[in-house]
Structure 1
Amino acid sequence: MNIDTTTLHLQLPNLYLFRRVTQLGSFQATADALQLPRSSVSKKIAQLEKQLGLRLLQRSTRQLNLTDAGKELLVITDSLTDLLNNTAKLTEQAQAKPSGRVKISSSTIIGQRYLLPLLPHLKHLFPDIVVEINLDDRVVDLIELGIDIALRVGQLPDSSLVARHIGTKSWACFASPNYLKHAPKLDKPDDLTAHQCLIFRHQKLTMDHWHFCSPSGEIQTLRITPSTASDDGRTLVELACMDMGIIRVDPILIQPELKKGQLVPVLSQWHHPDAAPIHLVCLEKNARSRAVNEVWHYLSEHLAEALKEASKPC
């Protein structure tokens, strides 16, 4: 008899049932233990025997006896019990305490200012979760880099990712008081042509078009000739604090510098006409581990609170 090995995996439940019958000694005891009708147990054993083409049990009115084939099958399927026990242990461990690796990606400043301060409490709640942080101002491929959770600014393309809106990004211009003390006048956007300007630039993006909305509502776009450029947002903030020029950045990302007076707003009457959503993105729920799911819910709540607090007027 030719056995279709591609369908043997369908007999795994029946193999488990066969082993329980041999352990408990009867169809009725097995049916009682598994809360099944006795006829179902008998039928499934018959299905297994038909699939294998082997007689596994000799039935009598008083007892069941294993055939030679049944005894051999019992030996070679012994690892099935270990497999089920180990699976049960894995499930128990996962339910008891979330553990494993969770990789989080964010742009540099927002990660430094708002993500990192949340990690001590997160680790206190979930000490067995290993958190890996990727801070990069470039948009990275989550799947390629094995990233579980990411902070993203702007509209997101349709994808298999789940996104939760946690804040709003805006833009404004700032400079250090000492830079402004020695710099030309700055009353309107056109005056920027006479100033040192700091811009963000990497291989795929150059943010050298600055948009402004006048007090009367007119939109103006100015192409900036940079004096200095960097692919790291933190570097640009530090350069602005070192009197190197004017930076365009989200005010919520430079709260410490504003409170210390290291940076002050310029062109305040000419605000940026647009805003962009800040999302926390993650894999779909059925693709997440329990550790990822716990971190996702924690960050969704606490990052939203932190960004909301930072957006309040000083």
Structure 2
Amino acid sequence: MKALLNHLSHLYLFQEVIRLGSFQAAAIQCNLPRSSVSKKIQQLEAHLGQRLIQRSSRKLSLTEAGVSLLDASQPLKALIEDSQRVMEDLDFTPSGKVKISCSSLIGQHYLLPLFSQLREQYPNISLELSLSDKYIDLIEEQVDIAIRIGHLPNSSLVARKIGEKRWGWYASPEYLEIYGTPTHPNELSDHQCLVFKNSNIELKNWPFDNGDGQIESIQIQSNITTDDSRALVEMARLGLGIIMIDPLLIRKDIEQTKLIPVLNNWKHPSTDPINLVCLGRNYRSRASTSIWEALYQTLKFD
């Protein structure tokens, strides 16, 4: 049995010679010299100890042993062809699971609208979206692609910049009607402010630039904190206080005047890069590379 396994390619050539009617035709089909095809058939006959093909100048004919072997080996051709199709599909059609991680607001406003397009473009790829405002380790959490804000430390990750995060201060019309509109950062001590806080960071130091190079940093004393950016925005909509956030993430709320900018004569002194991040080439699959490239082409923060 084991010895015969070493002659499977010879057996396939034997089938092709009979199917095509000549050694020459089988050689052309398999991209081999005619002499190689003839030699391999002779090796198969030597292994079996039986002549399989009667050769003449005009045609080939099967011996009794050849007929028996041809009938018994018919499934081999289908097996080889099916295996070849699988290999071609794996080579050209990305498949598998791709896990994407980002903050809850970015996922809601930027990633989710792209999922229909990604599913249509890559129907054999399963997408898993992890929404979290916490910093996660891609390898430890088995994440293929992430959107990260801020400057990345040197690592094995590959990053492409897709935008910049800016900051502004916003509150609902209802809140401003009750508490008034602050015009100077020092007035925030008289206001309700909502602060983002998780196990990694607490955004309670709000810096302000008056445009003349003067920076003022106000430490916010908040009665409400949250580790969920969506909850932060919802609380601001409900009139619970003022938030510091990227205006791109609340664009519709601004357009619909559900949230109104305050402290308009001041600006945040810094911006942070928004990066599309993935594992290095040696650690990522064809599927994750395909999704990463597709997101880079379509995911823009502007």
Check whether TM > 0.5: yes
Q: CA deviation at 1:118?
A: 0.8
Q: Which residue among 85, 93, 98 is the counterpart of 1:97? A: 93
User: Cα deviations across residues 190-229 of structure 1 (Å, max 9, x unaligned)?
Assistant: 1101110001001221111111101322011111111211
Residues 35-64 of structure 1 show CA distances to partners (whole Å, capped at 9, x for unaligned) of 799xxxxxxxxxxxxxxxxxx9xxxxxxxx
Q: What letter corresponds to residue 264 of structure 2 in structure 1?
A: S
Do the aligned partners of residues 125 and 189 (structure 1) sit closer, same or farther apart at CA in structure 2, a change above 3 Å counting? same
1:121 corresponds to: 117
Partner deviation per Cα, 1:103-144 (whole Å, 9 max, x = no partner): 111101011001101111211222221111001001111111
Q: Does 1:263 align with 2:277?
A: no
Unaligned runs of 5+ in 2: 1-5, 18-26, 34-46, 48-76
1:1-314 alignment runs, 5 A limit? 88-184=84-180, 186-286=182-282, 287-290=284-287, 292-304=288-300, 307-308=301-302
Q: 1: distance between equivalents of 2:101 and 2:79?
A: 36
Q: Distance in 1 between matches of 2:29 and 2:9?
A: 11
Task: Please give the alpha-carbon distance, in whole angstroms, between the structure 2 residues aligned to 1:15 and 1:170.
Answer: 67
Q: In the TM superposition, what whole-angstrom CA distance separates every residue of 1:278-302 from its partner, at most 9, and x where no partner exists? A: 0111123353324x22211211111
Asked if structure 2 preserves the Cα contact closer than 8 Å seen for 1:200 and 1:233, the reply is yes
Contact 2:198 2:227 in 1 (8 A): yes
1:91, distance to aligned residue in structure 2 (A): 2.8
Q: CA deviation at 1:17?
A: 8.7
Match in the other structure for 2:67: none
1:51-79 CA-partner distances (Å, limit 9, x unpaired) = xxxxx9xxxxxxxxxxxxxxxxxxxxxxx
SS at match of 1:274: coil
Report the equivalent of 1:42: none
Aligned residues: 286
Query: Contact 1:151 / 1:281 at 8 angstroms: preserved in 2?
Result: yes
Q: TM-score, normalization: structure 1?
A: 0.72
Opposite residue 178 of structure 2, the aligned amino acid is: H
Query: Any stretches of 5+ residues in structure 1 without a counterpart?
Result: 1-13, 25-30, 38-55, 57-80, 309-314
User: Does the C-alpha gap of structure 1 residues 18 and 127 become closer, same or farther in structure 2, counting only changes over 3 Å?
Assistant: closer
Q: Distance in 1 between matches of 2:194 and 2:83?
A: 56
Query: Cα gap change, 1:174/1:121 in structure 2, threshold over 3 Å: closer, same or farther?
Result: same
Separation of aligned partners in 1, 2:7 and 2:197:
62
User: Is the alpha carbon distance of 1:92 and 1:229 closer, same or farther for their aligned partners in structure 2, counting shifts above 3 Å?
Assistant: same
Alpha-carbon RMSD: 4.3
**In 2: Cα distance, 1:125 partner to 1:105 partner:** 20
**Inter-CA distance 277–89: structure 2 relative to 1 (3 Å threshold):** same
Instruction: Give how far 1:269 is off.
Output: 1.0
Q: SS at 2:128's partner residue? A: strand
Report the Cα distance in structure 1 between the residues aligned to 2:181 and 2:281, rounded to whole angstroms.
Answer: 54
Tell me which amino acid in the other structure corresponds to 1:234.
R
Task: Give the drift of 1:185.
Answer: 5.1
